């Protein structure tokens, strides 16, 4: 199964730090069965695009606006993102919902505009701690998914990737169990089946995000109902991100394996 691992750098990384990151990441960046996506802050997109092209990995953005051009100070057009070589865009991240008033309605408009521009939207959904404690996870997921998907036709819906990110798990070190994530992923597939078709329910790509690390990633990627992970903190260190991809099922391309420099001894061949 082709897996997807998305690095969300959030508001981190300077130009110099990014250069070092890609230099380090290039030592272990080739995976046969994984699409690796890096989402840097907007001003780094152009520079990052060159590195991503060299490494054969994909470029993502952390946000997008729904209009193509006009008097929208501070916003970024989906057409410009496409122009810069961006392929994926995070939409509806809980930090955008929490700090910038992003509603389901805004998320829906952004998703539609991103698809129209030829970008692949990664729609983030997930319950807060209070919603978890009051057993509202299923309702929240249904509300968030339906609000976005209702505005799409089946061809558009196929382009969407869903990232299930419980808000309480983001940056907290706490995670749900693999079983709990699997249950939500199955609910999302059922919703997609009700809204579109069985085929879309089966094919839609679903990721897990929230305190994923090299140590716990396999719990979320081992199941056939999930396709990979959206990673915040652990993606800021190139080696950690690379190990996370490998532990999550990414198979390193033979030519990219770090050379084993351990000296050979006669006894090794006995
Ligand atoms: C995120 O913000 O999308 C995220 C998953 O963050 P972290 O991995 O740091 O929890």
Protein residue whose Cα sits closest to atom 2 of ligand 1: 232
Mean pLDDT, range 57-73, rounded to an integer: 98
Query: Which is more confidently placed, 262 or 209?
Result: 209
Burial of 177 (0-12, 13-18, 19+ CB in 10 A): exposed
CATH architecture of 3-269: Alpha-Beta Barrel (3.20)
Q: Which residue matches tokens 């939409």?
A: 91
> What pLDDT is recorded for position 257?
55
Q: Which atom of ligand 1 is nearest to the CA of 235?
A: 8
Is 165 labeled as catalytic in the residue annotation?
Answer: yes
The catalytic position among 93, 95, 102, 219 is 93
Per-residue confidence (pLDDT) for residue 71, from 0 to 100 = 98
| Ligand 1 cavity residues, CB under 6 Å | 8, 165, 170-171, 209-212, 230-234
pLDDT, residue 269, reads 40
Residue 256 has pLDDT above 90, yes or no: no
Predicted local distance difference test score (pLDDT) of residue 100: 97
Four-CA torsion 231, 233, 236, 242, nearest 10 degrees: -50
- Spacing, Cα 223 to ligand 1 middle (Å): 20
79 burial level (CB within 10 Å; 0-12, 13-18, 19+) = middle
| Ligand 1 atom 4, closest CA | 232
% of the chain exceeding 90 in pLDDT: 89
Q: What interhelical angle do 137-149 and 104-116 show, nearest 10?
A: 40
- Find the 126 Cα to ligand 1 centroid distance in Å: 12
Q: So what's the pLDDT on residue 128?
A: 97
Pocket test for ligand 1, best of 40, 98, 212 (most atoms within 8 A of CB): 212
Question: What residue has token string 């706490």?
Answer: 174
Tokens of 238: 């190139």
Output phi, psi for 59, to 5 deg. -105, 135
- Active-site annotation holder among 127, 165, 219, 227: 165
User: Are the CB atoms for 8 and 235 separated by under 8 Å?
Assistant: yes
Phi and psi at residue 162, to the nearest 5°: -105, 130
Helix (H) or strand (E) holding 190: helix 178-195
Residue 60 has pLDDT above 50, yes or no: yes
Active site residue 143: no
Q: What is the model's pLDDT at position 268?
A: 42
Q: Which ligand 1 atom sits nearest the alpha carbon of residue 10?
A: 2
Instruction: Report how far residue 200's alpha carbon sits from residue 42's, in angstroms, rounded to the nearest whole number.
Output: 31
Which residues, listed in sequence order, are joined to residue 244 by a DSSP beta bridge? none
- Residue 139, pLDDT > 90, answer yes
β-sheet bridge partners, residue 164: 125, 208
* DSSP percent split of the chain into helix, strand, coil, nearest 5: 45, 15, 40
pTM: 0.93
The conformation of residue 103, written as its DSSP 8-state character, comes to: -
Cα(119) to ligand 1 centroid in Å equals: 21
Cα of 231 to ligand 1 centre, how many Å? 5
Q: Tens digits of per-residue pLDDT, 86-125?
A: 999 999 999 999 999 999 999 999 999 999 999 999 999 9
Q: Which of 114-118, 230-234, 265-269 has the lowest mean pLDDT?
A: 265-269
User: b vs e for 251-263, b when ≥16 Cβ sit within 10 Å of the residue's Cβ?
Assistant: ebeeebeeeeeee
């Amino acid at each position: 199964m082709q897996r997807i691992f998305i690095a969300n750098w959030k508001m981190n990384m300077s130009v110099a730090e990014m250069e070092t990151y890609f230099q380090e990441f290039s030592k272990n960046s080739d995976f046969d069965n994984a699409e690796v996506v890096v989402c840097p802050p907007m001003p780094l997109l152009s520079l990052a695009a060159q590195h991503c092209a060299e490494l054969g990995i994909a470029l993502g953005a952390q946000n997008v606006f729904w209009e193509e051009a006009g008097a929208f100070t501070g916003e970024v057009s989906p057409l410009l993102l496409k122009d810069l070589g961006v392929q994926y865009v995070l939409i509806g991240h809980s930090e955008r919902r929490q700090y910038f008033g992003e509603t389901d309605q805004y998320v829906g408009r952004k998703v539609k505009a991103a698809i129209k521009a030829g970008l692949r939207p990664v729609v983030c959904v997930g319950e807060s701690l209070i919603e978890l404690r009051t057993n509202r996870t299923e309702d929240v997921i249904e509300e968030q998914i339906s609000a976005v998907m209702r505005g799409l036709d089946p061809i558009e819906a196929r382009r969407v990737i869903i990232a299930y990110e419980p808000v309480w798990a983001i940056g907290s070190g706490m995670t749900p169990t693999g079983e709990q994530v699997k249950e939500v992923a199955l609910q999302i597939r059922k919703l997609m089946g009700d809204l579109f078709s069985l085929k879309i329910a089966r094919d839609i790509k679903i990721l897990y995000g929230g305190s994923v690390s090299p140590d716990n990633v396999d719990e979320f990627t081992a199941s056939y109902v999930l396709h990979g992970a959206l990673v915040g903190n652990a993606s800021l260190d190139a080696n950690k991100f690379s190990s996370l991809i490998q532990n999550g099922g990414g198979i390193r391309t033979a030519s990219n394996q770090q050379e084993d420099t351990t000296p050979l001894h006669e006894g090794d061949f006995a």
